[in-house]
Amino acid sequence: AQSVTQPDIHITVSEGASLELRCNYSYGATPYLFWYVQSPGQGLQLLLKYFSGDTLVQGIKGFEAEFKRSQSSFNLRKPSVHWSDAAEYFCAVGDTGTASKLTFGTGTRLQVML
């Protein structure tokens, strides 16, 4: 069965600092991978997705993620964090048979210090 691990429950960074959120997945074939963001009291919003091709994918709000098959990882990065990036971030893996059936990680809460 597919699974996702986000080892960091909570991360605090200063505004303007770089950010990397870790995600490791378990899946038998080439996975579909996603990062979603959830602001307080809201549903989740897609930041970016990887299906195939270039292993470095660009998303909205200046985020990017790199798929590394050898490490079963799909880490999310941003070179300079803004205070408005404070939120919870979820990594997810999709079933290649049904791309939309996603399994989510437990999330990483990002706090940004001004």
Residues near other proteins (CB under 8 A) are: 32, 34, 36, 41-46, 49, 51, 90, 94, 98-107
Calpha distance 88→110 (Å, rounded): 6
Range list of β-strands (E), the chain? 3-5, 10-14, 19-21, 24-26, 32-38, 44-50, 56-58, 64-68, 73-78, 87-94, 102-104, 108-113
75 vs 96, which CB is nearer to other proteins?
96
Instruction: Give the shortest CB-35-to-other proteins separation in angstroms.
Output: 12
70 vs 100, which CB is nearer to other proteins?
100
Instruction: Give the shortest CB-92-to-other proteins separation in angstroms.
Output: 8
85 vs 107, which CB is nearer to other proteins?
107
